[in-house]
Amino acid sequence: MAVPGSGATPLAPRLQPVLEAALGKGKGKGACVADVGCYVGHLAIAMVQQDPSVRVVATDRAEPPLTLAAQRAREVLTVAQLARLDFRQGHGFDALADGPNPAVACLAGLPAGLVLQLLPSAPNSLRRLVLQPSCPQPPQAMMDLRSWLNDHGWLLVEERLTSERGGACLTLVADAEPEAPMPSPRRLGCLGEKLPPLLRPRVLAKCHQKEDAEVLAYLQLLEEYLERVEDAQWKQVLQDELALMQTPPP
Ligand SMILES: C[S@@+](CC[C@H](N)C(=O)[O-])C[C@H]1O[C@@H](n2cnc3c(N)ncnc32)[C@H](O)[C@@H]1O
């Protein structure tokens, strides 16, 4: 059995960008982060271990993983850390109806279609969404998610790609825009883009660095997308992108 408080729990590399994005916005004493679909609580436990000020409410619709999560938390967390972590059972954001009001919500490992169903009932207190749909997802599902964010006052601020045995895993980070947002080129640019609009230019700028982890993960993502699409236009977009990535440098 682990000694409570004896060290940070190792986190799957795929969840590292989720943790960083959540804690990046969830700073400040008493700031609250919601982890929706927390399963056995890996991310939630790591968050309270890594940030001594954050409060985490971790929810799941299923009871068995929550029981395991609570047991694991009691094993590895100190009393003070445990006091900042709350596990609740419920569908989507329902378990947060009685508060607290989270500033950040993470939804990781859920299909993009389910994320789209859950987002309309997200609490108004949220300033940041960290979305990592289960991978692999069809590219259209990710495009629909980005469009939803654009249409509902969320500005995509970051796209991170990690690669694991299971596939390439895309994390979207979106911040609530100020009231009555001015249309910005970046915001409009996200609409209708088939490929990740923030990640893509970054990768294309270094696509000849064959050993770069992000370049390799992007190639993997394109291959996975290609396996999943039936639509001829989508296939063409993906094949063109793969060809562009493989064009020799001038
Ligand atoms: C694949 S696990 C992902 C766990 C973790 N977030 C991660 O990324 O490793 C998906 C979890 O979401 C939960 N889940 C599925 N649908 C849900 C819903 N509508 N509301 C809350 N939790 C849900 C499942 O019970 C499961 O524990």
The answer, yes or no, to whether any atom of ligand 1 lies below 6 A from the CB of 61, is yes
What percentage of the chain exceeds 90 in pLDDT? 76
Region of 110 (left: φ > 0; alpha: ψ -120 to 50; beta: rest) is beta
pLDDT band at 24 (very low <50, low <70, confident <90, very high): confident
Count of C-beta atoms within a 10 Å radius of residue 135? 21
Question: How many Å lie between the centroid of ligand 1 and the Cα of residue 128?
Answer: 19
What residue owns the CA closest to ligand 1's atom 25? 62
Mean pLDDT of 69-87: 96
All domains in the chain, ordered by first residue:
13-134 (3.40.50.150)
Does position 138 have pLDDT exceeding 70, yes or no?
A: yes
pLDDT at 3: 64
pLDDT band at 1 (very low <50, low <70, confident <90, very high): low
Question: How many Å lie between the centroid of ligand 1 and the Cα of residue 61?
Answer: 7
Tokens of 156: 């995509």
What residue owns the CA closest to ligand 1's atom 3? 109
Does position 47 have pLDDT exceeding 90, yes or no?
A: yes
Atom of ligand 1 nearest to the CA of 15: 8
**163-182 pLDDT, tens per residue?**
887 689 999 999 997 654 55
pLDDT band at 189 (very low <50, low <70, confident <90, very high): very low
pTM, whole model, 2 decimals?
A: 0.92
Question: How many Å lie between the centroid of ligand 1 and the Cα of residue 39?
Answer: 5
Count of C-beta atoms within a 10 Å radius of residue 116? 17
According to the per-residue pLDDT averaged within each range, which of 8-12, 56-60, 154-158, 231-235 is highest?
56-60
pLDDT band at 188 (very low <50, low <70, confident <90, very high): very low
Which residue would you say has higher pLDDT here, 24 or 72? 72
Question: How many Å lie between the centroid of ligand 1 and the Cα of residue 35?
Answer: 9
Angle at 133 between CA 128 and CA 136, to 5 degrees: 155
